Amino acid sequence: MLPYDRRIVSRLARPIVFIPLLIALVFIGLGAWWWSQAGTSTPVSEEYAGREYGSAGGPAVAGAPASGVWTYRATGDETVGIGPVTIDRPLPAEAQIVVRPAPKGFWSTLALSEEHVEASRLRVTPEGEYLEERVTSVKVTGLGRDEREKLVPPALVYPASIEPGDTWTERYVMDEVRVLTRARVTGAETVDVGGTPMQVLVIDKRGKVTGPIAGIRDDRIWWSPELRMPVRWVMRTKLDGFASLRTDADLTLTSPVPTT
């Protein structure tokens, strides 16, 4: 090869080296951006929650909580895992529970963030509130899916009449996942909700989850029989399987009246 030919080959080879390097740098930058975004949670405003999860259709069912957006102060964090990769992220300072009518009952949608939403369809009966269906959405940078499952059989989660010392068991199956929760009313308290004193019952729930997804779900709920809503809710979730989730959250209701 002549010297002239070598110069031409050298010049042609430079882009071949440069282009893969550029692509690698782009992927590194995208990976760094994705990782930084994955470690954050997007707050859910009252307006967004009402628009996304609320509905003006259908009359309210007697015995159901008032329809609208209930705002809670929130503290806590969670860890989401996919295989060996885990991502820690703090929860926003506010969470929303949206109540909207459903046939013979209501939907209650808890939005801890845009990335973590848990919706429950409950049927109101003279015996109390039965949980019939759940929709759970836990995502990372918009990636994930909604898990919609009907409970077999529906579980009595809040009896119509509750007093200290009462106990009950919630036992149901969702697809291949089995849940056994034991609930106990540990006492009664008076708490301040947005400047209004309210009588509440303190309910401890200890849940065990088995199947493809396994772990625990423990809740302590300061339950208002008047509002039919939690005025404070401390939750701890630890689930493992093809994906993992650990959530520690403490929610406190800011007002005894929802935004409609």
**Residue at 212 is within a domain:** yes
82, pLDDT greater than 70: yes
Strand locations in 126-195 (E): 128-138, 146-159, 167-174, 177-193
Tell me the residue range of the domain where 165 lies.
Answer: 41-253
In this predicted structure, the answer to whether residue 222 has a pLDDT above a threshold of 80 is yes
pLDDT digits (tens, 9 = 90+) for 154-177: 999 999 999 999 999 999 999 999
**53: in domain:** yes
Q: Comparing 145 with 43, which gets the higher pLDDT?
A: 43
The verdict on pTM exceeding 0.85 is: no
**What's the rounded Cα separation, in Å, for the pair 72 and 95?**
5
Is the Cα torsion angle 48, 65, 178, 208 positive or negative in sign?
A: positive
11 within a domain of the structure (yes/no): no
Residue 86 lies in a domain: yes
25 within a domain of the structure (yes/no): no
Does some domain include residue 29? no
The structural domain count of the chain equals 1
For residue 33, is it within any domain?
Answer: no
Helix ranges restricted to H, the chain: 3-38, 46-53
The SS3 assignment for 29 reads: helix
Does any domain span residue 151?
yes
